[in-house]
Amino acid sequence: MRHQEPGHFRRMVEEQRVVKTGGITDIDTAYLYVNSEKLLGQLNAARDFNIHTKAPGVVPGCMSRESILKGMENSLQELGVDHVEVYYLHTADPATPLYETLAAIQKLYNEGKFRVFGISNLSAEEVQRLYNLAKESSFILPSVYQGNYNPVARHAEKDLFPLLRRLGIKIYAYSPLAGGFLAKTANEIRGDKLGGRWSRDDPVGQIYHKLYNRPSLVSVLEKWEQLAHENGMKMVEMAYRWMLYNSALKTEFDDSIIVGTRRASLLAETLEFGRRGSLEEHVLLQIDAIWRLVEHEVRPPEISTSSFFAYLSQAPVDNMRG
């Protein structure tokens, strides 16, 4: 979220109205999302919604005691609140001892700065290690995990999600449209003239291109587009309905998806898609077939690991805070 251009604040007011009338109770943000916390504070969003935010991330040293405590102080100040509902570790930090990180989180919890401890972008191995250390140290245990999951990014179903189930950690899935990939045509991706979050001048856009702009995935996007068209749906509707009703996410575990939009009209449309129920069986079979075509692709680096820092080292990070 980069709400910096003139007029965006007014649009956010309208989005807030749509969110409230749509029955949404929680808003997700982060220290790294430039200006997001500040604008939520200006909207007094905490009056009507539970706010979830995250500690600084990505940059080596981001999970140090000093960084976490200062990050929370800054977040609360910009949000205009004295506590948040959920506080996440945004990424892992190989440069900081895990005990130091968890001790800082425990201090904030003891001070009443947040109610629920969340983790984000960690591998199954990292989740288990963090959970074990927190339990051995009598620290607060994580109870929610936020990670990338969508119809063309389902590797988490194999190892990570089963582990989260065993540990009693619910799942909040971000990027249900694969960063917008599943809302674009193959020709748009091949044309390589996309703006916004897919701009090659944007560090996040560069990451999206590295993750999804591959010949095999673009070819699969054509099949996705055709499947939606043949069944009278928009591509985004098919993705959202799969996520809500047919994916590994389960309402009995209080799982959720995280949606985002730049316009209130699109948010209202997304909420409407969510009311249309499960996809038909023949559509589900074809979505599974699409996944099988790409599941053996070389897996992108986990955002949590040091290899992701190498990803970012090739891209400017001026628009990220850390």
225: number of Cβ within 10 Å: 17
User: Coil, helix or strand for 29?
Assistant: coil
Cβ 42 vs Cβ 10: under 8 Å: no
Write the DSSP symbol of residue 262: S
311: number of Cβ within 10 Å: 18
Q: How many CA atoms lie within 13 A of 44 on its CB side?
A: 1
First CA to last CA distance, the chain: 15
Q: Which of 31, 33, 174, 212 is catalytic?
A: 33
Active site residue 33: yes
206: Cα separation from own chain's centroid: 17
Which element (helix H / strand E) includes 257? strand 256-257
Strands across the sheet containing 26-28 = 26-28, 50-54, 84-89, 114-120, 144-148, 170-174, 256-257
Which element (helix H / strand E) includes 186? helix 186-191
Query: Which residues lie closer than 8 Å to 255 by C-beta, 6 or more apart?
Result: 170, 171, 172, 173, 249
> CA 140, 303, 135 angle in degrees (round to 5)?
20
Packing angle of the helix pair 281-294, 215-230 (nearest 10 deg):
170
**DSSP secondary structure letters along 3-61:** --STTHHHHHHHHHHHHHHTT--EEE--TTSTTHHHHHHHTTGGGTSEEEEE---SSTT
Cβ 222 vs Cβ 214: under 8 Å: no
> What does the block give as tokens for 188?
């748009």
Return the active site residues.
Answer: 33
